[in-house]
Amino acid sequence: MLLSVIVPMYNVCKYLPTMKKSVDSCTSKEIEYILIDDGSKDETYKKCKELFQNSHNVKVFHNTNHGVSYTRNCGIDYASGEYLMFWDADDLLNDKWYQIVRKAINDNRDCDVIYFTKNIETCYPDKIELINSMIGISNVYNNNYLAAPWSKVFKKNIIVQNELKFNKDVIHGEDLLFNIEFLLASNKCKVINESFYMYYINVNSVTHNFDEKFLNSNQKYIETLEVILKKYFKDDNIIDSCLSYSFINSLYIFTGKVSKIKRYSDSIEVIKNFY
């Protein structure tokens, strides 16, 4: 099996018919789709079983609700592909996506991770500059989606050998932590000036709304990032700058989330807790 596509699902019933069109556009025996329902409250699992009952390369799983990190980790365990790709169920893949990904894999077997984006010229990026761009310190690789798990392919053996997982205790930034740790554990990476992934901004998602778990989650994010960086870097300046900019970015995210709180008194209390 060349490629496993891992799709976490939560209350995405209305997106499934569109998602099926992308799945049906590529029925190669080299690829498997792993669809995992994370305890949806709608008909996601039932509808998914109905839509894909005759799809030979689609596996459908169901969990109680644990969050997207737990679900992606399950997908990694279920995957039999040499390479892994993550896809969110409410996003789209264009009709040529598999041709682009397959060619990139076959042309770059020596690379452990391949990034796809139209905003960066094809290159072998410098790891530190790439991490700086993901965090926001630098704009050498100026792309808002570098930190996301999608629009990339990862060699599974790097994940297995280094026991890499998405952090279940982090609700914002878990994908960035995974990407940074994978990048640092990899031997070689490549950016390809191609695009096939169409990201849908859902303003009602957990990413864009306030969650009272955010404060503890953010502290865990900063602490985990520090552990990862200290594992690979001896230069305190690199570590300090990454942590400082990550905290600044946390302030930016926090401000946006507080703006979603309806009662003024509640927002004041949240700000005090953050301080």
Find out whether 19 and 47 touch, Cβ atoms under 8 Å: no
Phi, psi of 111 (to 5 degrees): -100, 140
Q: What is the pLDDT of residue 100?
A: 95
Q: What is the pLDDT of residue 272?
A: 87
Task: Judge residue 56's burial from the number of C-beta atoms within 10 Å of its C-beta, 0-12 exposed, 13-18 middle, 19 or more buried.
Answer: exposed
Per residue in 200-212, pLDDT (tens digit) is 755 455 555 667 7
Strand 83-86 to strand 3-9: parallel, antiparallel, or no bridges (unpaired)?
A: parallel
Only one residue has tokens 């205790």, namely 169
pTM assigned to the model: 0.91
Alpha-carbon gap, residue 106 to 139, rounded angstroms? 29
* Secondary structure (DSSP) of 134-174: HHTS--TT--TTTTSSBSEEEEHHHHHHTT----TT-SSSH
Q: What is the pLDDT of residue 205?
A: 52
Q: Could you tell me the two tokens for 59?
A: 């596996």
Per residue in 217-233, pLDDT (tens digit) is 999 999 999 999 999 99
Q: What is the pLDDT of residue 201?
A: 54
Q: What is the pLDDT of residue 138?
A: 86
Alpha-carbon gap, residue 260 to 249, rounded angstroms? 18
Low-confidence ranges of the chain (pLDDT < 50): 203
Alpha-carbon gap, residue 96 to 110, rounded angstroms? 23
SS3 at position 202 = coil
Dihedral sign from CA coordinates of 101, 104, 108, 114: negative
Contacts of 238 by beta carbon, 8 Å cutoff, 6+ apart: 128, 229
Q: What is the pLDDT of residue 119?
A: 82
